[in-house]
Amino acid sequence: MFRGKALRLAQVFLIVVPAFILFGYNQAGVGPLATLQSWVHTFPDIDTVNTEGAVKSHNSTSKGAVIASFQLGALFGALSTSYVGDWLGRRKTVFIGAILSIIGQVLQTASFNLIQFTIGRIILGFGIGQFSAAVPVWQSECTSAKHRGQHVIVDGICICLGYTLCNWIDFGLSKVSGDLQWRIPLAISFFFEVVIFFGVFFLPESPRWLVRVNRIEEATASLAAYKGIPEDDESVRVEIAGIETSLEISAGSGGSLKEMFSSKDEERLLYRFCLCMALQFFQQMCGGNLISVYVSTIFEENLHMDSDLARILSSCAMTWKFLCSFIAFIAIDRLGRRAIFMISGAGMSICMVVLAITNSFGDNYHASIVSALFIFLFNSFYPFGFLGGNFLYCTEVAPVRLRVAMSSISTANHWLWNFVVVMITPVALDTIGYQYYIMYAVISGVIPFAVYFFYPETMNRNLEAINHVFRDAPSAWQIVSMAKHLPQGEAAEVDAYTRTVEKAHVEQKENV
């Protein structure tokens, strides 16, 4: 059995990497395929290539619905994790997701009619939705505070890699004749699903979930294995005690989200839940999914580029996005969560403003060049803050007993807005055109202000210590400032935290 660094790497390469490659690959997978003649011949009801006028408008709506059925399945898959994740644990939830994604992929790849394809896409989405909610929680609960950001930001890098692989594979196989043009790209993702299916058997369960279900000995063994130290080591004992203490403080609750609406919401669960929901809303409604899924459509149909050139540019744009995601890997545990969110939001807003302006000129060669340039620039800012950092933050601010519930519901919110974007984009681009980008510019512009005033820093903070600061802050307005006083690294002892909070209280009173 793996231990220490080898175990952490095994978790990354057996679960995290394939799960989030599948996330990006399947999310973007049908977009580039939907303009192939072999595709529209098989599914003529969503042909927007050889149709015009009212027929094209109708088919655009149908096309958006079929492509977005994946997001709809993922929404319910993520929601299911709020129950399954705490009932069966993180490992078994991921295992179920692998089974469902394999079934969905078989139905989708072997489809000869639109109904079968849509059903397969919904089932596939259900499995991927479970991955998107369960994997970041499992990963963050098994990772040290010092490296938690970098480990979870790998999720975003792998999503980008999935986008990139999808676009280049689709382009490479577009020269193949017949249905193989699109069946082979869909079938390739079987490899990653099989890796996850078998990979879960080599990894121990989350120590924090094991403590939650009162399996302390297994939790101790699991934590020691992830740390690569003996089970009787003092640091293991201290961290297990810290997790138990965090749970004991809220022992009177049943671990239900109904607590958020209680008049005795001492832990500010509703506040934390709103942070998660808003962050996942921003992640989708900043325009990232618009670019990722429909970039080839934007280049070909809206910027009037040649089909091959559009595919090459869209593949290059996704490759650039993948490369830029490594900047977030470096910055997440150096600049902090707040900084990367604010920088990313401001940059994306500027890019969307320029895209709105350049697209307003219509079929203009120079404007198209500027549009293409700012699509690449957008793909520099988006992964910097919102291609992994959002999933990480939601797992950090949630209390251990509600971590899966909050993560799964906020991730379902992510998929809900993902569905909205994928569904309406074909119609919006055909009708309101450049004005569509203005909405994304405004929403992205709100991100820096929302983060500055409401989102406390979680970088290098112990998960249990973060839970305490939400509970003990005198008011919601002081949570952000109090988070600055939290001990960093592996300082999980309650007495160390208590001294820090008492000091923060005194300083705040002096400031008042």
Which has the closest alpha carbon to 407: 384, 390, 385?
390
Residue 504 banded pLDDT, cuts 50, 70, 90? very low
pLDDT value of residue 512 = 45
Neighbours of 221 (CB within 10 A): 17
User: With 80 as the cut, is the pLDDT of residue 152 above it?
Assistant: no
Most confident listed range (54-68, 374-388, 397-411): 374-388
pLDDT value of residue 122 = 94
User: With 60 as the cut, is the pLDDT of residue 410 above it?
Assistant: yes
Neighbours of 5 (CB within 10 A): 11
Give the residues across from 488 on adjacent strands: 461
pLDDT value of residue 497 = 43
Do residues 370 and 313 lie in contact, with contact meaning Cβ atoms separated by under 8 Å? no
Do residues 490 and 144 lie in contact, with contact meaning Cβ atoms separated by under 8 Å? yes
**What is this structure's pTM?**
0.77
User: With 70 as the cut, is the pLDDT of residue 397 above it?
Assistant: yes
Assign residue 441 a region: left if phi > 0, alpha if psi is -120 to 50, beta otherwise?
alpha
Alpha-carbon distances, residue 131 vs 99, 155, 392, 501 (angstroms): 11, 11, 14, 36
DSSP string, 284-325: HHTTHHHHHHHHHHIIIIIS---HHHHHHHHHHHHHHHHHHH
The proportion of the chain whose per-residue pLDDT surpasses 70, expressed as a percent, equals 88
Do residues 179 and 38 lie in contact, with contact meaning Cβ atoms separated by under 8 Å? yes
Average pLDDT of the segment spanning 478-499: 60
User: With 60 as the cut, is the pLDDT of residue 392 above it?
Assistant: yes
User: With 70 as the cut, is the pLDDT of residue 267 above it?
Assistant: yes
User: With 50 as the cut, is the pLDDT of residue 358 above it?
Assistant: yes
List pLDDT tens digits, range 206-245.
Answer: 888 898 888 889 989 988 998 888 888 888 888 888 778 7
Burial class (CB in 10 A: 0-12, 13-18, 19+), 386: buried
pLDDT value of residue 475 = 78
Tokens of 469: 């600061």
Q: Which of 12-26, 108-122, 230-244 has the lowest mean pLDDT?
A: 230-244
Give the residues across from 461 on adjacent strands: 488
Residue 253 banded pLDDT, cuts 50, 70, 90? low
Three-state SS string over 87-142 comes to HHCHHHHHHHHHHHHHHHHHHHHCCCCHHHHHHHHHHHHHHHHHHHHHHHHHHHHC
Query: In Å, how far from its chain's centre is CA 319?
Result: 18
pLDDT value of residue 46 = 82
Question: Computed over its alpha carbons, how large is the radius of gyration of the chain?
Answer: 23
pLDDT value of residue 71 = 86
Question: How crowded is the C-beta side of 415, counted as CA atoms within 13 Å?
Answer: 33
User: With 80 as the cut, is the pLDDT of residue 149 above it?
Assistant: no
Residue ranges of the domains in the chain?
A: 4-208+265-454
pLDDT value of residue 474 = 81
- What b/e string do you get for 239-249 counting C-beta neighbours within 10 Å, with b at 16 or more? bbebbbebbeb
Assign residue 304 a region: left if phi > 0, alpha if psi is -120 to 50, beta otherwise?
left
Question: How crowded is the C-beta side of 362, counted as CA atoms within 13 Å?
Answer: 1
User: With 60 as the cut, is the pLDDT of residue 311 above it?
Assistant: yes
Q: Is the domain covering 4-208+265-454 a CATH 3.40.50.300 domain?
A: no
Do residues 151 and 12 lie in contact, with contact meaning Cβ atoms separated by under 8 Å? yes
Tokens of 109: 């790849």
Give the whole-angstrom CA distance, residue 414 versus residue 399. Answer: 20
**What is the SS3 assignment for 461?**
strand
Cα angle value 334/339/343 (rounded, 5°) = 120
Tokens of 92: 């078994």
Give the whole-angstrom CA distance, residue 368 versus residue 359. Answer: 7
Residue 354 banded pLDDT, cuts 50, 70, 90? very high
Residue 263 banded pLDDT, cuts 50, 70, 90? low
Residue type, 380: S
pLDDT value of residue 19 = 93
Neighbours of 256 (CB within 10 A): 11
Average pLDDT of the segment spanning 112-140: 90
pLDDT value of residue 367 = 81
The proportion of the chain whose per-residue pLDDT surpasses 90, expressed as a percent, equals 23
User: With 70 as the cut, is the pLDDT of residue 87 above it?
Assistant: yes
Instruction: Measure the CA dihedral 265/414/142/13, to 10°.
Output: 180
Residue 495 banded pLDDT, cuts 50, 70, 90? very low
pLDDT value of residue 506 = 46
List pLDDT tens digits, range 168-202.
Answer: 888 888 778 888 888 998 999 899 999 999 999 99
Residue 130 banded pLDDT, cuts 50, 70, 90? very high
Q: Provide CB contacts within 8 A for 429, sequence distance 6+.
A: 294, 297, 298, 301, 302, 436
The single residue listed with the structure tokens 């990894």 is 203
pLDDT value of residue 257 = 64
Which has the closest alpha carbon to 465: 504, 506, 425?
504
Residue 30 banded pLDDT, cuts 50, 70, 90? confident
User: With 80 as the cut, is the pLDDT of residue 100 above it?
Assistant: yes
pLDDT value of residue 143 = 75
**Helices vs. strands in the chain: H and E counts, helices first:** 23, 0
List pLDDT tens digits, range 452-485.
Answer: 999 988 887 777 777 788 888 887 788 888 877 7
Give the whole-angstrom CA distance, residue 316 versus residue 293. Answer: 14
pLDDT value of residue 496 = 41
Residue 145 banded pLDDT, cuts 50, 70, 90? low
Average pLDDT of the segment spanning 291-300: 75
Do residues 397 and 276 lie in contact, with contact meaning Cβ atoms separated by under 8 Å? yes
The single residue listed with the structure tokens 């618009």 is 290
More confident residue, 465 or 93: 93
3-state class percentages of the chain: helix first, strand second, coil last, to nearest 5 = 80, 0, 20
Mean pLDDT estimate for the chain: 82
